[in-house]
Amino acid sequence: QILGASATTEVASRRDPERNKLDYVRMKVGGADVLTMVDSGASHNFMSEDTARRIGLKFVPAKAQMKTVNSPPIEILGIAEKVDTTLGEWTGKVDFTIVRIDDYEAVLGMEFMKQFDAMIVPHLKKLYIYDGREDVPIGVPTIGVTRPDCKLGVMKMEDEKRMGDNEGRMGE
């Protein structure tokens, strides 16, 4: 239990199965359909190597690695810059980091959110994009997808002394 959230989340999930779904959008890249997760916890935009090759996306090779929570570092294969992308009525040029991932075709992260003043509103099932070209944000419908094969790893701090004996500890 983390800050008393476990029980609350479990009860809320039973009441509303939509809470367990991840938010995806239907994205077109170069005319090809790419089912894309919207993840405000991801720093950048990512595309799987398989998806990039399937749609014929050209990318510049890169020699770098990235690290995700509870996983070993993975190789960054390349960068695709200014990729023509369509989300609903919105079109723009998006950068993608190409990596070997098998859980997702693509991920739009904070790089996208900040570049295009976008925000996800889960209860309205929309990704809103306000890039300054229109007077109002463009609403892109999201799709709730259940991914039973993917689990979110949670890190737990076991050494509470690092937080100070009684200072800054929550939930007590």
Structural tokens at position 19:
């809470």
Q: What is the pLDDT of residues 89-107, one digit of tens each?
A: 999 999 999 999 888 899 9
Percent of the chain with pLDDT over 90: 54
How many whole angstroms from its chain centre is CA 24?
9
Does position 154 have pLDDT exceeding 80, yes or no? Answer: no
CA 155, 102, 144, 139 torsion: positive or negative? Answer: positive
pTM: predicted TM-score of the whole model, two decimal places? 0.75
Distance between CA atoms of residues 158 and 156, nearest Å? 6
Q: What is the pLDDT of residues 108-139, one digit of tens each?
A: 999 999 999 999 999 999 999 998 888 899 99
pLDDT grade for 65, boundaries at 50, 70 and 90: confident
Predicted local distance difference test score (pLDDT) of residue 87: 97
Helix (H) or strand (E) holding 60: strand 60-66
Determine the average pLDDT of the residues in 75-92.
96
